Chain A
């Protein structure tokens, strides 16, 4: 099945710093989602981005489908950005998602 790899696995930054999270996937996809999982386990939708670039406030994402990777940018980090960031792609062309192992982000005040 499709493989999803995320890097880095862990990231510790000071408040105000910028960060780039990467997601590589092993096969062509028609959908890619980025999620933020808060400390209580809730997965929050950040972006639905099969290709191109999208921005939402301090967050933006870019997917280069032909090269099979996506990037999530977080600017001017805040402590509330802490948590685990996952990317996910469809499994085998249907709707079930395959997730990466996530990037655990810690923003220190």
Chain B
């Protein structure tokens, strides 16, 4: 039973570029959430997707957008990259959303470096 998978593992971009990160949820899960973790900090919630729609969003600008596909996999897109976007990006999956009552399982993350 595969857990949450993410690609790529590492990525280096320059300021102003755009990036796409990918996530496949744990088998049996159809809700995907994205988090940003800066060095030395706890993860911060970006947004959550369920039934191919953004269900909940954290305090992140519109440069951060996402998509969920019919097979429940998801993409995170970041436009006009800033140096401050350098971070570990984590994807988490959970079963049908239960208003905060479900366990979330995390993938290994994508480490993004913006130069």
Q: List A residues at the B interface (Cβ < 8 Å).
A: 4, 29-31, 33, 35, 40-43, 45, 48, 50, 86, 88, 90-91, 93-102
Contacts and interface: CB of A to CB of B under 8 A. Distances in A.
B17 interface: no
Given A30-B100, A33-B104, A95-B48, 19 more contacts: A35-B106, A40-B108, A41-B88, A41-B109, A43-B43, A45-B103, A91-B45, A93-B100, A94-B100, A95-B55, A95-B102, A96-B33, A96-B45, A96-B48, A96-B56, A96-B58, A97-B35, A99-B43, A101-B41
Given A41-B111, A101-B42, A94 B103 contact: no
A95 B104 contact: yes
Contacts of A48: 103
Nearest to B44: A99
Interface of B: 31, 33, 35, 37, 41-45, 47-48, 55-56, 58, 88, 90, 92, 94, 97-106, 108-109, 111
A95 B99 contact: yes
Contact of B105 (A29, A45, A99): A45
7 contacts: A35-B106, A43-B90, A50-B101, A88-B42, A94-B48, A95-B99, A97-B33
